[in-house]
A and B are shown apart, each in its own frame.
Chain A
Amino acid sequence: MAKKLKKVDVVVVGSGWAGGVVSAELAKAGYQVVTLERGKKQDRQDYIGVKDELRYTDRYEMMQNLSPETITSRVKIEDTALPVRTRAEMMAGTDLGGGSVHWAGATYRWRAIDFELRSKTIERYGKEKIPEGMTIQDWGITYDEMEPYYDKWEKTAGISGEPDPLGDKRSSDYPNPPMLASPAVKLFKETTERMGYHPFQVAAGNLSQAYTNPDGEKLNACMFCSYCTMYGCDFTAKSDPLATVIPTARKTGNCEIRTNSLVRRVLHKDGKATGVMFTDTRTGIEYEQPADVVVLGAFSFTNNRLLMLSEIGTQYDPATRKGTIGRNFNGQFNITFLGARGFFENKKFNLYMGAGALGGTLSDFAGDNFDHSNVDFINGGGIEMRQYGDGAISTNHVPSGTPKWGPEFKKNSIHYANRSLVAWYTPAVMSWWHNYVDLDPTYKDEYGDPLLRITNRYTDHDRNMAKFGIEKCSEIMKEMGADIIDEDEVPEEFDHIYSGGHYAGGIIMGADPETSAVNNYLQMWEMDNLFVVGGSAFPQFGGHHPTSTIGALAYRAAEGVEKYLKEGGQLAEAKQETLNA
């Protein structure tokens, strides 16, 4: 029998941006909150002096230990899914602050059209533009309604940037100016401007100056230390939960954060969540944490899996295309982030310097900023050129045709170490009836519970988009003066590699309970006191990085939880949508 703990107002699962924002907001509002995190506790001190590429980039020090639990993956519904066994193939956050600690910080709002993609596409191009089997839908919330939450999250995080000249309306500027631009970033911006595009500096979760956020948390200016993506920031200069929402939640005195607490079930009775069951991973002791409201903010995978293991809602079945739990799995994988790499004979860049989100970008081929009448895809994405600060192990880019080992490889990899730049496209990803998640019939975690199974197949739509982006990036590289340009090839098939943390869907938002699991407050249609927060709510993926949308949704959800605690019941009105694509 699980040991029963004292009931609280809200129990939150996960301590990344999703769980962290909700915990902080409710604790600030005076509610008793318990936040459960499966990983260990960590703070800035843990990163001082460990700028170690092998350990963090190559051995995935900060990523989930897969020995007790991973996911399984397959392409087609008829296939047998196999486990994704190594951390080289599967990166998910763990430990206090989650993946939101080792993210790079590239920050983009999603576009107005993203939130109403289905209706706007039909409005502009007709119903035929949406191919059979594509299950995109509107979010049940508009950009204008999202805007205040974006604004709030950007201020909490201290985002440093300049507005996208082709972006949607903003109520205020980013709280901090853009970061300094390196010569490579300047070259990208100047070149693309000359080409008639509208470049701007990537908005960054790496701070351009010292800043105090509205909760009183102090952040420092980024030092361009280069050990950023896949690392924790030892200077408190990265916008992450450890520097912001976690201390904010703690200092209210209303939030207890418990690490080493692996949540394994959402407990419920008569259609209401009663709390969660978790195991202390150090002692193996099981606990029950009762609460009035349960919030899942444990990243897409766990959010989906916990609902399935707890038998909440109806599992999506691709045969009937009915059921909402596990529907519309989507994300950015190896078919996204493709582009062109340029090699420069007469230029050397200080590429070992950089920061997670240092870069230039443009939105000329994002959303509906260009005419889609003559392209065979919907939506679009940003084009980016980033300067992360390259490690010595990872910079081995050589022009194609170079052998991949031996003397010529050595010569070229050294020669080009500081002479190559890459631009890539970050396209949106549509949802399809055949991409979904459920529980695996074979593989189990250390407790004997089934693993999450992902079924994900690329389509011609994905490939068309990727090709389009590669062409644009190649043109840019050419204009930038590269002597050799290597274009990425479009992969035919999904390679089961889950890197970069952009996986979403399964517990999606919408206005219609037939086709969505949560309403626009991230509240479950089927269980009023259960909120599921994070990328799991994306009905399809936008054409930019996801995290600011996750942060904004978390503020929206926090507002919903508070509203629910005061008023109870369903917070949004269900509408019926006609979805016969």
Chain B
Amino acid sequence: MTEHRPHEDTQKGISRRNFIKNTGLVAGGLVGGSLFGGLLTNQLQKPNAPINSEKEVSHLLEARTFFSNSEDFLILSAATERLFPTDDLGPGAIELGVPYFIDRQLAGEWGMNAKEYMKGPFLQTGVVDAYESQADSTQDQGPNAETQVPTPAFRYQTPMTRGDIFMEGVQALEQTAQEKFKTNFHKLEPKQQDEILQMFDDGKAKMNGVASTTFFNLLLQTTIEGAYADPVYGGNRNMEGWRMKEFPGPRMSYTADIEKEDFIVMKPESLRNYQGH
């Protein structure tokens, strides 16, 4: 919630939710494929048991309303799990409900770009794409140099909505998996999935309409959001994301604690508590 620096990540000409400044190399993941596969199938195949706990009620809210094709959803889920994997700190993206969070976001106002300026002409497919890929290497001489590309790194110049970008992106993940490994993306080994995701991160994967980085950044942004947004949006299931981060959720007041020296761990509470339901 810092207003003046929400964009520190964008200084490199990459999108807002890259979260950290340096593009490092991908660390090899240990936990992976089999685990999330299991989790996901469990969920997808849950029998119609009677509902007798709050936990199960919340599972009733977990059905796809954006991705109509279950295969696409499996690919999306696998990708989010690599970005935010299960480990000994706690649950990863799938267990937190991140894929359902993303699905719901895409089905709504944000996924449909309802409040964004979507009038043409659009330059992403032509000129702007080129700016993005040139931005880093040509900026060294500064803006006064004649060789400078004119307007580097405009972030959103496509007629595609975010929903469209995700559809294209998920299919491009699959396409790349087929080309490289001749296997479905969601069936690949974690290391192979990471390799493909890194290609997307670097803008080196083939994608229609936008650079693969654009999709990757949206995927990363929504994965993190899904891990830590209020559970009402379908992710951060049972506030496990908050628990890992020792985040208390919305509270009325910290006046009594603001001066305290020691770190205080509170049992998290959600918007539902806050609104007094």
| Residues on B with beta carbons closer than 8 Å to the beta carbon of A57 | 1, 6
CB distance from A440 to the nearest CB of B (A): 11
Question: Across the interface, do B22 and A400 meet the contact criterion of CB distance under 8 Å?
Answer: yes
Question: Contact: A414 with B245, CB < 8 Å?
Answer: yes
Given A59-B110, A83-B119, A486-B21, A491 and B11 contact (CB-CB distance below 8 Å): yes
Which B residues are within 8 Å of any A CB, using their own CB?
1-8, 10-13, 15-16, 18-27, 29-31, 82-85, 87, 89, 92, 110, 113-119, 121, 123, 128, 135, 139-140, 142-144, 148, 150-157, 194, 197, 201, 220, 223-225, 228-230, 232-233, 236, 241-242, 244-248, 250-255, 257-261, 263-264, 271, 274-276
In whole angstroms, what is the CA distance A76 to B149 when docked? 10
A404, B18: Cβ atoms closer than 8 Å: yes
Stretch with Cβ within 8 A of B (4 or more), from A109-117, A121-129, A137-145, A382-390: A382-390
In the assembled complex, the Cα of A88 lies from the Cα of B242 at a distance in Å of 24
Tell me whether A350 and B116 are in contact (CB under 8 A): no
**Closest residue of B by beta carbon distance from A426:** B4
A65 to B115, Cβ gap below 8 A?
A: yes
**Quick check: B229 and A410 within 8 Å, CB to CB?**
no
- Count of A-B contacts with CB under 8 A? 289
Chain B residues in 8 Å Cβ range of A401: 22, 24
Q: Give Cα A488 to B5, complex, Å.
A: 11
For the complex, give the distance between the alpha carbons of A78 and B13 in Å.
21
In the complex, residue of chain A having the shortest beta-carbon distance to the beta carbon of B232: A52
Interface stretch, picked from A177-185, A240-248, A249-257, A307-315, is A177-185
- Are A495 and B253 in contact, CB atoms less than 8 angstroms apart? no
Among B21, B27, B135, B154, the residue within 8 A (CB) of A406 is B27
In the complex, A224 Cα to B25 Cα: how many Å?
39
State which of A49, A53, A230, A457 has its C-beta within 8 Å of the C-beta of B143. Answer: A457
Q: Which residues of A contact B12 (CB under 8 A)?
A: 489
Flag if A224 contacts B151 (CB, 8 Å).
no
Q: Tell me whether A444 and B119 are in contact in the complex, defined as CB-CB below 8 angstroms, given that A52-B250, A224-B255 are known contacts.
A: yes
A310 to B16 Cα, complex, angstroms: 36
Q: Mark A474-513, 1 if CB is under 8 A from B, else 0.
A: 0000000000001011011111110111100000000000
List, in ascending order, chain B residues with CB within 8 A of A228's CB.
1
Q: How far is the CB of B19 from chain A (nearest CB, A)?
A: 4
Q: In the complex, what's the smallest C-beta–C-beta distance from B114 to chain A, in angstroms?
A: 7
Nearest to A490 among chain B residues (CB) is B11
Chain A residues touching B, majority SS: loop
Which of A15-23, A66-74, A571-579 sits within the interface? A66-74
Given known A-B contacts A392-B241, A407-B29, A458-B143, A49 and B275 have beta carbons under 8 A apart: yes
Nearest Cβ in chain A — how far from B224, in angstroms? 6
Q: How far is the CB of A489 from chain B (nearest CB, A)?
A: 6
Task: Compute how far the CA of A59 lies from the CA of B85 in the bound complex, rounded to whole angstroms.
Answer: 25
- CB pair B152–A85 under 8 Å, yes or no, is no
Assess the B7–A497 pair: CB atoms within 8 A. yes
Residues on B with C-beta less than 8 A from A210 are none
Cross-chain contact B155 with A86 (CB below 8 angstroms)? yes
- Additional 6 contacts, C-beta under 8 A, given A393-B225, A403-B25: A66-B115, A88-B155, A183-B260, A230-B3, A400-B22, A495-B13
Q: Do residues A406 and B258 form an inter-chain contact, with CB atoms below 8 A?
A: no
Contact B143 A424 (CB under 8 A): no
**Closest Cβ of chain A: how far from B255's Cβ, in Å?**
5
| A389-B225 in contact (CB<8A) | no
How far apart are A52's CB and chain B's nearest CB, in angstroms? 6
A119 within 8 A of B: no
What is the CA–CA distance of A495 and B225 in the complex, to the nearest angstrom?
24
- Confirm or deny: A318 has a beta carbon within 8 angstroms of a beta carbon on chain B: no
List the A residue with the shortest CB-CB distance to B121.
A442
Asked if A405 and B84 make an inter-chain contact with CB atoms under 8 angstroms apart, the answer reads: yes
A180 touches B27 (CB 8 A): no
* B140 surroundings in chain A (CB, below 8 A): 492
Cβ B26 vs Cβ A402 within 8 A: no
Asked if A411 CB lies within 8 Å of chain B CBs, one says yes
Given A392-B242, A486-B21: A406 and B151 within 8 A (CB)? Answer: no
The answer to whether B128 and A82 touch across the interface, beta carbons within 8 angstroms, is: yes
Q: Which residues of A contact B223 (CB under 8 A)?
A: 405
